[in-house]
Amino acid sequence: MARHRARVAVAAAVGIALALACVPLGVIPKLACAALDAGCPVTGEPGGRLPQAVRLTPVQVAQSGAYVALGDSYSSGEGVYDLDRQPVNDGADRCHRASGSYVPLVSGAFHFGGGTAFYACSGATTAQLLSGQHGQQPQISRVGPSASLVTLSIGGNDAGFTKVLTGCIVKLPWSSACVEQDAAVERRIQQLRPSMLKVLRELRTRAPDARVIVLGYPRPFPEPPTDGVDNLSVADQRWLNAVTRRLNDTVASVVADFDRAIAAFGAPGSMEYVDAYEAFAGHEVGRPQPYLNGLEVDVEDLTVNARSFHPTADGYRRFAELITQQIAAGPGRPMNNFHLSAS
């Protein structure tokens, strides 16, 4: 400190003396540089640059943290659960989480910096996704700020699709009881809008930087339908296909509206919908190689097996293809997630 003060005093004295001697101003900085190592001109590149904001690609956003898989039976792996020998994690037996679901396939296709958490649960409604099932922690609670990708299928149980299918199958062959459920189903689908929005808001609050990918449901029967499938007439099958389309369109519109709001504010993250309606085309129930299980009855106790009308192993592999393609493609707009680059 004393030496610094001395150099400052000398510099001040030299400056005053030179000024009094009428030395030209341009000479003073050169003398100061040579004598005091002060005021020397900067040469070459600046020593430090400000960090630059670099926009992340959709894949970079997805991989930057944890992958959290939520949803109902179409995500849990219900259609292959009976064939599973390895429990996935705690509560898998109650929720019928199977390693044959699309989730492990998606997890293996990318490197997620925060790992994978798989908590989809068979039978889940939008309300149960928020409140929990079978005494288990709510699925939504598994999502936190570290989540960079969330996938889910949800809404089919809100629409009562299992009950609807059962009503269609157990009716008398000539009965119109199947399609007579239309008004009740339409009412439940309309009620799905606010509850779906509530789920998306909660996901957004918990993981504001994440990409959320919502998977739709496949058309269950061929177009045009074949006659005599599990006591379902051609009219029944057409109606069930139409109900699936209406359900998908409702979920898709809520997701799209939410993502438009995110983009309008230039905010990070996204809400993305994957339309799976035509995903099983050529492999619907009634086809030679279906991607959906048909009606399966347990003969001993005369009950319908839960895997009925759920994806087969091929069906879950097809779902994995759709989701991995969506991860690579992104939401169809630039992501507003950035990281700071040092150079």
Which residues have a catalytic role annotated? 73, 310
| Separation CA 15–CA 31 (nearest Å) | 10
Q: Which residue reads 């309309």 in tokens?
A: 190
Burial pattern 91-116, b for ≥16 Cβ within 10 A else e, equals bbeebbbbbbbbbbbbbeebebebeb
Please name every residue paired with 215 in a beta bridge, in sequence order, or none if there are none: 274
Using alpha carbons, list the distances in angstroms from residue 10 to 6, 14, 15, 21, 33.
6, 6, 8, 16, 13
Rounded distance, CA 284 to CA 222, Å?
A: 6
Q: Are 297 and 309 in contact (CB under 8 A)?
A: no
